[in-house]
Structure 1
């Protein structure tokens, strides 16, 4: 079994352009160095496709839950929402802080091309956080449960984003996506703001609409950069014919999802903040 795992790991490493970018963090937390990255690699590459079934189950179960809630009153989930969003906010902030060090070093010291095409060292701090990041995409499916139980509108943007990012993240993890450092870092930044905003709202505090607008702008910028990164990698692979740690399948998938996110978030921004809606007249 161990030989099989090691052979899978070796085949994966052999697909790297030269070597991984090895960066030593200034300090390492107890949970950032103890995982079996060889075993995780094997299971990621063997079972990532199960997230497709999980995603389908997620969509169907949320439809069923919406149907179940039709004859029921919205649940009062204030305490649970504070804990849920607060926990995800803390996780995202910590993830942003812990991955920023390697990301900034790679972009500024190693260069733009290595940051796109050479993966971080799997046993490193960033390697651990990529796994945590993937697991968080499963956890975040719970966002939809809260929306449905509170009988809030469930948009296509919300469902599509949760469904597709889950599958794409695990597919990326199965091949040590080098550009994953970009996608992961940007997502941690955006979610740090978003879940902090949700936490404050859940606590009952009034938040300026400007802050909500800023959160959406950051999300749009994330998607624009995601499309740009994908285009840069396509240019590197097809025009310059340089090696890059991203399969064509994953690259095309990134184009599809980031372009769709960009369009949907821009549309959301226009609908929410740019179109003035007539105020409802008060009945006398």
Structure 2
């Protein structure tokens, strides 16, 4: 832990910003919005329950209907989420690098950023975006595309945990937010290009799934760091319950994405070879 605590980036006053924060970001009342949100974070369970009902109800309604094409809406949808994720990645990475540079890596993991103006805004927007992302499934249902367990399970659990994490200012959620936004900026860009009708190498989809698996492994690593810090009696916005909750989620994601990777990119090729 002492080695990790000592990790610091070169000492500069400010981490350069690729896109400087806008005035509305810097003036965001992060603490005030958080107080409002904390009293309502349980709404995520209601939204998630409604999502599950609509998903499976929608599949039933679409059973005897022709699929919708929705090419233009799908391009716009994915492009919008890609841009949102990219800007969020830039904001969160700058905030986390700033903390790591001046206070060390462990403090960047263990100090919450949800009440800081710019980072707090993006953590809040990220939490709200988990409701918006339910729309991904609507496109699958309306286009009559396969809906696997991993897809809707991931959407539901991520939504509820993200709202819980932000409401309770669980410190590593800043990293969880940044990692998810980074992966989504690549993923939604890929989906947007494909929806526009361009053919892309199959290897790109493998890379995206590999990034998702790496994200889950990194999440488990951060959980270990936070738990070790807490166990050492050092200050950390974390608890044993947070550890159980986050580890269960990330471990299940890791196993499911790993299985998805195996089934999607190796099982079919193995069957072809046997034939």
* TM above 0.5: yes
Equivalent runs, 1:205-216 vs 2, <5 Å: 205-216=198-209
Q: 1:158 aligns with which of 126, 134, 151?
A: 151
Equivalent runs, 1:250-269 vs 2, <5 Å: 250-269=242-261
Contact 1:130–1:184 (8 Å) recurs in 2:
yes
* Distance apart, 1:120 and its partner CA: 2.3
2:239 matched residue in structure 1: 247
Q: 1:54 aligns with which of 47, 54, 60?
A: 47
Q: State whether structure 2 residue 66 is matched by structure 1 residue 76.
A: no
Distance 1:137 1:204 in 2: 27
Distance 2:131 2:216 in 1: 20
Contact 2:15–2:98 (8 Å) recurs in 1:
no
Q: State whether structure 2 residue 50 is matched by structure 1 residue 91.
A: no
Unaligned runs of at least 5 residues, structure 1 = 1-21, 280-284
Unaligned runs of at least 5 residues, structure 2 = 1-12
Deviations 1:113-150 (A, max 9, x none): 10111122614211111111111111001000000001
Deviations 1:164-197 (A, max 9, x none): 1101111111122211221111111100110001
Contact 1:118–1:244 (8 Å) recurs in 2:
yes
Distance 1:28 1:232 in 2: 30
Deviations 1:226-246 (A, max 9, x none): 0111122122222x1222102
Q: Which 4+ runs in 1 deviate beyond 3 A?
A: 22-27
1:136 matched residue in structure 2: 129
Distance 2:215 2:120 in 1: 21
Q: CA RMSD in A?
A: 1.8
Deviations 1:186-218 (A, max 9, x none): 111100110001001100000101111111111
Deviations 1:228-275 (A, max 9, x none): 11122122222x122210233332211111001100000011111122
Contact 1:48–1:174 (8 Å) recurs in 2:
yes
Q: How many residues end up aligned between the 2 structures?
A: 257
2:229 matched residue in structure 1: 236
* Secondary structure of the corresponding residue to residue 189 of structure 1: helix
* Distance apart, 1:33 and its partner CA: 2.5
Distance 2:228 2:25 in 1: 34
